[in-house]
């Protein structure tokens, strides 16, 4: 959520930055609601103070056995007006909050201009895409031939955009998860095991609601929601808390299954592991002091890049332009892994600085050392990595001419010394 004072004090700059995201926001409607609510609050404060003074004066007159009827009528009239103003203020404040919840975060001023991914700026490239002397196969074909992926049975038991991993496919996936968690732990992140079901306040706190309700699975009849990323429970661990400055930074990592309806992705990436309704992911989250968040984002990107480099998977890192950024993001880097079946780089991680946007929604503050006042933390999140996409990239990039898959050296210990995935 944006700071209302920021909108109030400099609406032109806020509007200019939001225009980078190519979204239409009626800031004047927000400011009009704010003006009306503030006017009512001012009158309420004046009336409440006058009623308090009147009540004290009535008590004094009664003690002195003097006539207090006129003053009593005034106090009663003030009370009725207060009740009316409070009834008028409540829906105004609800509408103002609802409008604020629908406004995206503003991007950093130096975020590139652009409407879509075509304007993203490449900032790093690592590794060379493999050149095969044979007809390379897409991961869905090779995975089924090796007996490590089964999309037909997944469709039978659940439907489209689900997968079954079997044998070495399941073991490779588990090895990737363990390796990613260990890699993050060595980078200073604390491992957490969190719920996959969260309440509505948690979805609002990290910005999924109300914007993305159609992409989320709701559990009925209970008011729970399946998480689309571990960012949601990890960030909400500290919702409505005041942290001490000495506790920061808080660096968390968690593995979860993730669930997305993908309502806006009809017809896209229908084969294989790239776009699924259920998938595994290892997520990084940081809560930091505001001035520390730019450096924290760079560190998070480096940690995620380290996973791809250790696996030997070619990738590039891009800085997203305003039009390609998400709802709550102020600055985002995408890591894109090379996928031979696509003949291009495909997103495998997104690392973002959310500034104080989520913290304001979730009420996560900290108390600077030596101060009685509190400030909002900055939150950051990033995938390290999306497990299914990593597995798909591994199968495609490390396939051999005889139809096997080389196991990256860093994963060999997790597979009990196994160096190849072959036919069962």
Helix (H) or strand (E) holding 383: strand 378-386
Ligand-binding annotation for 383, yes or no, is yes
285: β partners: 252, 381
Respond yes or no: is residue 38 known to be catalytic. no
Residues 6+ apart with CB under 8 A from 125: 315, 316, 317
The three-state (H, E, C) secondary structure of 302-349, written as one string = HHHHHHHHHHCCCEEEEECCHHHCCCCCCEEEEEEEEECCCCEEEEEE
Residue 349 assigned ligand-binding role = yes
Determine the straight-line distance between the first and last CA of the chain, rounded to whole angstroms. Answer: 52
Is-catalytic flag, 367? no
Residue by residue, DSSP assigns 58-79 as HHHHHHTT---HHHHHHHHHHH
Beta bridge partners of 353: 331, 380
Sheet containing strand 365-367, edge to edge, reads 242-244, 365-367, 375-376
Asked about 316 being catalytic, the answer comes back as: no
Distance CA 348, CA 338 (A): 10
Read off φ and ψ for residue 195, nearest 5 degrees.
-65, 150
Determine if residue 348 is labeled as part of a ligand binding site. Answer: yes
390 assigned ligand-binding residue: no
Q: Is 231 annotated as a binding residue?
A: yes
Strand pairing of 378-386 and 375-376?
A: unpaired
Identified catalytic residue from 144, 241, 309, 347: 347
Flag whether 260 is marked binding: yes
Told to judge if 347 belongs to the known catalytic residues of this protein, a careful annotator would answer yes
Give the 3-state secondary structure of residue 421. Answer: strand
Is 283 part of any known ligand binding site?
yes
Q: Is the peptide bond before 332 cis (omega within 30 degrees of 0)?
A: no
Do the annotations mark residue 261 as ligand-binding? yes
262 is in an annotated binding site: yes
Instruction: Determine which one of 137, 161, 260, 361 is catalytic.
Output: 260
158 among known catalytic residues:
no
* Catalytic choice (275, 289, 367, 406): 275
308 Cβ contact partners less than 8 Å away, ≥ 6 residues apart: 126, 315, 335, 337, 348, 385
The total of other beta-carbon atoms located within 10 Å of residue 245's CB is 14
Q: Check the annotation: does 69 bind a ligand.
A: no
Q: Is 12 annotated as a binding residue?
A: no
Q: Is the peptide bond before 127 cis (omega within 30 degrees of 0)?
A: no
Write out the two tokens for 19.
Answer: 């225009």
Of the listed 173, 202, 341, 350, which one is catalytic? 350
Give 68's strand partners: none
Residues that constitute the known binding site for L-serine: 229-231, 260, 283, 381, 383
Residues that constitute the known binding site: 229-231, 260-262, 283, 347-350, 381, 383
Residues that constitute the known binding site for ATP: 260-262, 347-350
Report, as residue numbers or ranges, the catalytic residues: 260, 275, 347, 350, 389
């Amino acid at each position: 959520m944006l700071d209302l004072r920021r909108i109030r004090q400099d609406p032109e700059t806020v509007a200019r930055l939001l225009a980078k995201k190519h979204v239409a926001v009626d800031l004047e409607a927000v400011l009009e609601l704010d003006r009306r609510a503030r006017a009512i609050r001012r009158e309420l404060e004046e009336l409440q103070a006058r009623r308090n003074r009147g009540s004290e004066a009535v008590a004094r007159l009664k003690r002195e056995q003097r006539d207090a009827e006129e003053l009593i009528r005034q106090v009663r009239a003030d009370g009725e007006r207060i009740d009316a103003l409070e009834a008028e203020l409540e829906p105004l404040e609800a509408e103002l909050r609802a409008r604020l919840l629908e406004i995206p975060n503003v991007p950093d001023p130096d975020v590139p201009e652009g409407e879509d991914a075509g304007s993203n700026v490449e900032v790093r490239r690592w590794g060379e895409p493999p050149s095969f002397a044979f007809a390379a196969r897409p991961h869905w074909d090779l995975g089924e031939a090796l007996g490590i992926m089964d999309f037909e049975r997944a469709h039978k038991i659940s439907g489209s955009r689900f997968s079954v991993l079997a044998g070495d496919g399941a073991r490779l996936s588990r090895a990737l998860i363990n390796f990613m968690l260990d890699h993050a732990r060595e980078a200073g992140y604390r491992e957490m095991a969190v719920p996959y079901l969260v309440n509505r306040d948690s979805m609002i706190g990290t910005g999924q609601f109300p914007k993305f309700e159609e992409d989320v699975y709701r559990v009925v009849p209970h008011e729970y929601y399946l998480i689309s990323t571990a960012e949601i429970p990890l960030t909400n661990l500290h919702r409505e808390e005041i942290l001490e400055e000495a506790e920061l930074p808080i660096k968390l990592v968690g593995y979860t299954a993730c669930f997305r309806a993908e309502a806006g992705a009809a017809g896209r990436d229908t084969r294989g592991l790239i776009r699924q309704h259920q998938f595994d992911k290892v997520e990084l989250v940081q809560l930091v002091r505001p001035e520390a968040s730019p450096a924290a984002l760079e560190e998070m990107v480096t940690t995620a890049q380290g996973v791809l480099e250790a696996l030997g998977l070619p990738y590039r890192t891009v800085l997203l332009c305003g039009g390609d950024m998400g709802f709550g993001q102020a600055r985002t880097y995408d890591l894109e892994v090379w996928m031979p079946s696509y003949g291009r780089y495909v997103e495998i991680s997104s690392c973002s600085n959310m500034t104080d946007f989520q913290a304001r929604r979730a009420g996560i503050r900290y108390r600077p050392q030596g101060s009685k006042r509190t400030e909002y933390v900055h939150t950051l999140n990033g995938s390290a990595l999306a497990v299914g996409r990593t597995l798909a990239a591994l199968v495609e990039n490390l396939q051999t001419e005889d139809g096997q898959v080389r196991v990256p050296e860093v994963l060999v210990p997790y597979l009990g010394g196994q160096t190849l995935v072959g036919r069962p």
